[in-house]
Amino acid sequence: MFDYRLHIADFFNYCQYHKNLSSKTIQAYKVDLRQYEAFSKNLTRNTLWDYIIFLNRKYKPKTAKRKIATLKAFCHYMLIHDLIEYNPFDKIETSIKEPLVLPQTIPLNIVNQLMSYLYLQIDLAKTDYQLKSAVRNVAVTELLFATGARIAEICNLRKNDVDLHGNTIKFFGKGAKERIIPIENLEVIGILRKYYMLHEQDISNSGIFFINKLKRRLTEQSVRNMLQRCCEECNISIHITPHMFRHSFATFLLEEDVDIRYIQRMLGHSSITTTQIYTHVTSSKQKEILKNKHPRNKLKI
């Protein structure tokens, strides 16, 4: 009997060295395939059918779709390498409808309140460590809002990715896709230069642009914790995450009539369909405006 498990290790090598997938994607594949191994020793149309039912019962649609996509990628690998004669996914309906979840944005007045608090911490710093930390926190937050970059993209910035003379940032997004975002706001450029000046030696030694107190790469979780702490300290009631700056970046630009194709490129989306989720947000904004601001509401008939 064919044992698909004998080919899993080769599949991961194929993903890493042929498809050049990220380590995070490969790790997710490993988790998903281990789960399927625990579910069944066979990889047939019938077992896949039962597994899809199991996934839909246990997980939310987005998670179930990802786990199915992993198995599809593995089956495709075996098919193109002539390890199987047919794809067991043939004639299996795998489309799963996800509920439309609108991206959460940060009101502009809240962004202003948070930024003002972060800048204040620079003025209040009493030690060199406090100053360096405060400047770094402002620089990271400014970059989140100025570029709409993912927090992982910002934390993974290398020294050479940040051009403080040409005022550009080079990001490497999903699938190692490269995009360059110009920084046109003078205050953002100013805080980035100040951060670099304070940390220049450590940045040069590590090659990483944003570093922590141990002079290692700043982690995504550290930024999340920093934002949460600052929101609590300045009495912001809404829960703010780094990704909400990305949503806000796209939504505010769309509300300023920026062409969605430009926003797509700045966000690093492969498909404009992904970017179009923000049109739903602006549609809800239009509804709110017409409901509360339309002059018809002032008529007394």
**Residues labelled catalytic:** 150, 174, 243, 246, 269, 278
CB burial of 232-241 (b: ≥16 within 10 Å; e: otherwise) equals eeeebeeebe
The answer to whether the CB of 75 falls within 8 A of the CB of 43 is yes
Residue 208 sits at φ, ψ, to 5 deg, of -95, 140
Read off the tokens for 222: 């550290």
Relative to beta strand 178-182, strand 168-172 is antiparallel
C-alpha distances (whole Å) from 128 to each of 122, 131, 279 are: 10, 5, 45
DSSP3 helix / strand / coil % (the chain, rounded to 5)? 65, 5, 30
- In a 10 Å sphere around its CB, with 0-12 CB exposed, 13-18 middle and 19+ buried, how is residue 205 labelled? exposed
CA 181, CA 170: separation in Å to the nearest integer?
6
The answer to whether the CB of 147 falls within 8 A of the CB of 169 is yes
Taking Cα atoms as reference points, which of 51, 59, 60, 57 lies closest to residue 94?
A: 51
